[in-house]
Amino acid sequence: MRICFGIGFLLSTIGFLASADAAPPKKTPPASGTMDADKLSPGVFTGTVVSVPDTDRMFTVNVSYQKIQLKPGQNLGRANQTLQREYNRIMQLQAQAMRPPGRGHNPMRAMQQLQGAVMQFQNNMARTQANMFQVVNATQKVDFQVDEKVKVRVKDLPEQFDDKGNIKKYTKEELIELKGKDKNLPGYESSIDAIKPGQILQVALVVHKKPKPLSTSSSSSSKDISTEKGKDKDAVKEAPKPAEEASVEHRLQVVTIMIVKDSASSAASTNPGKNKKKK
């Protein structure tokens, strides 16, 4: 039973490799293309800032990720042929092991050969995966929308310098204060204005929770109150739209941003002492 189960698993693996060889992989979007974050799954993403949040709270991050691909010079078709021959051998041995004993046929010997063939197949399959595939680093530009109540944090505080360019240490009281009101969150409190191109960010993407619409009774009562106060009906019609209707609200939005590393230009400008020495 255990061997049959293993063979079934190997059959599915062979089918996967064969299908991968028969059908060419889907083309990945060009490096210059930008993906909408709504096409992603909720999670945490790390990348470099390309553009800062605009009036629609949209900003672009060059997200880093890893992908698996064939090594240069490797051919999946040849590997499939070898594995297919070994698989056919396993099927033959399985049929022999199930036959009753007879002249010139020993089911126990066939079973031993079957076990050896399965082990060899598994080893060859593992070697094929290790020798043919590699994990490479890649990037993809993604357009994110920040939540209206996004929380921005900075992993490390900028270094403080005295007039001579020497580093000043933060006091314990200063560190506690810089944590802000959300002291349970990692890092230190920052703001959306602190995000600059070239920084490395870690963003948390979640499903956006739409605000609950006002009930009919409350809206009708508010109209009655405005009428009683003598407000013009036309003025009520021309009332400004809520903030969530002013722009397109995306299904997934960023609720927290961690500034992991500042850009090289920003880091250099924070040390006035070094700038003086260069002069």
Determine how β-strand 188-189 pairs with β-strand 34-36.
unpaired
What stretch of H or E contains 148?
strand 133-154
Q: Identify the residue whose tokens are 């992991």.
A: 260
pLDDT tens digits along 35-87: 999 999 999 999 999 999 999 999 999 999 888 788 888 877 877 888 888 88
In sequence order, the 6+-apart residues with CB closer than 8 A to the CB of 16 are none
SS (H, E, C) 175-214: HHHHCCCCCCCCCEECCHHHCCCCCEEEEEEEECCCCCCC
Residue 279 scores a pLDDT above 60: no
CA angle 188, 191, 194 (to 5 degrees): 100
Percent of the chain with pLDDT over 70: 70
Q: Identify the residue whose tokens are 């094929």.
A: 128
d(CA 204, CA 80): 41
How many domains are contained in the chain? 1
Among the listed ranges 178-182, 207-211, 224-228, 274-278, which one has the minimum average pLDDT value?
A: 274-278
Instruction: Out of 39-53, 111-125, 162-176, give the one with best mean pLDDT.
Output: 39-53
The answer to whether residue 96 is domain-embedded is yes
Domain that includes residue 133, residue range: 2-30+70-139
The answer to whether residue 16 is domain-embedded is yes
The answer to whether residue 10 is domain-embedded is yes
Residue 269 scores a pLDDT above 60: no
The answer to whether residue 150 is domain-embedded is no
The answer to whether residue 55 is domain-embedded is no
The answer to whether residue 246 is domain-embedded is no
Instruction: Out of 62-76, 192-206, 216-230, 237-251, give the one with best mean pLDDT.
Output: 192-206
Arithmetic mean of pLDDT, 105-133:
84
The answer to whether residue 255 is domain-embedded is no
d(CA 200, CA 198): 7
Long-range Cβ contacts of 207-211 (<8 Å, 24+ apart): 207/42, 207/251, 207/252, 208/147, 208/249, 208/250, 208/251, 208/252, 208/253, 210/244, 210/249, 211/244
Name the nearest CA neighbour of 63 among 86, 40, 83, 80. 40
In sequence order, the 6+-apart residues with CB closer than 8 A to the CB of 31 are 139, 140
Arithmetic mean of pLDDT, 122-128:
84
The answer to whether residue 111 is domain-embedded is yes
SS3 content of the chain, % helix, strand, coil (to 5): 40, 25, 30
- Quickly list DSSP for 22-46: HSPPPPPPPTT-EEEGGGSPSEEEE
In sequence order, the 6+-apart residues with CB closer than 8 A to the CB of 192 are 53, 146, 150, 152, 257
Task: Give the pLDDT band (50/70/90) at residue 124.
Answer: confident
d(CA 193, CA 180): 16
d(CA 58, CA 248): 10
Please report the pLDDT score of residue 52 as a whole number: 96
Arithmetic mean of pLDDT, 13-27:
43
Arithmetic mean of pLDDT, 96-103:
78
